[in-house]
């Protein structure tokens, strides 16, 4: 593997691991998941990300820096294997890394002004104002109209 791709994999692993312990992880995880699915990686990679995140959160509380280094090295090796196998190109990983760095710098998560008007009478369901919502499901039970005999 040439030195540019090795450096790219190392940078990708470092950025990925650093984002795992932030509030931005959900957004970053979605991007990484799409990257892995395009690369033909099986679903265990996402499970491994979630496991690594849990370990990192525990390590952060216990100030265990060795776990952070170990997990960073694991993801570095994983990304290198993807590049060596041809499952992902350097450009693919570079694009992912650019997106992850944007998230890390909060450049695409700047607050913005939102104005919503609700009209049409009484609302019988949830009304939410938010800049970004992911993975939200509402279970609404509708009252059934009485039947006429």
22-70 residue pLDDT tens: 888 888 888 888 888 877 777 788 888 899 999 999 998 898 899 999 9
Q: Which residue has the higher pLDDT, 77 or 113?
A: 77
Q: Binning pLDDT at 50, 70 and 90, where does residue 85 land?
A: confident
**Per-position DSSP letters for 47-101, written without gaps between them:** HHHHHHHHHHHHHHHHT-HHHHHHHHHHHHHHHHHHHHHTSS-HHHHHHHHHHHH
Q: Quick one: tokens of 131?
A: 């800049």
The burial of 33, by beta-carbon neighbours within 10 Å (0-12 exposed, 13-18 middle, 19 or more buried), is given as: middle
Closest CA to 60 of 96, 25, 10, 92: 25
Q: Which residue has the higher pLDDT, 35 or 117?
A: 35
Give the pTM.
Answer: 0.65
pLDDT at 108 exceeding the cut of 50: no
Q: Which residue has the higher pLDDT, 112 or 109?
A: 112
Q: Quick one: tokens of 40?
A: 């033909």
What is the residue-averaged pLDDT of the chain? Answer: 80
Q: Binning pLDDT at 50, 70 and 90, where does residue 82 land?
A: confident
Question: If you average pLDDT over residues 80-94, what whole number do you get?
Answer: 86
Answer left, alpha or beta for residue 9, where phi above 0 means left and psi between -120 and 50 means alpha: alpha
Place of tokens 């990192």: 56
Separation between Cα atoms, residue 53 and residue 33, nearest integer Å:
14
Of the candidate ranges 36-50, 71-85, 131-145, the one whose mean pLDDT is the lowest: 131-145
């Amino acid at each position: 593997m040439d030195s540019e791709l090795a450096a790219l994999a190392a940078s990708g692993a470092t950025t990925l691991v650093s984002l795992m312990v932030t509030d931005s992880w959900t957004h970053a995880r979605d991007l990484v998941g799409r990257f892995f699915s395009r690369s033909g990686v099986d679903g265990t990679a996402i499970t491994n990300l979630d496991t690594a995140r849990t370990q990192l959160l525990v390590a952060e509380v216990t100030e265990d820096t060795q776990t952070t280094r170990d997990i960073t090295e694991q993801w570095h090796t994983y990304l290198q294997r993807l590049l060596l196998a041809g499952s992902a190109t350097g450009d693919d990983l570079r694009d992912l890394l650019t997106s992850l760095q944007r998230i890390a710098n909060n450049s695409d998560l700047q607050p913005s002004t939102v104005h919503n008007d609700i009209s049409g009478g009484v609302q019988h369901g949830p009304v939410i104002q938010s800049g970004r919502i992911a993975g939200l499901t509402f279970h609404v039970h509708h009252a059934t109209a009485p039947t006429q005999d």
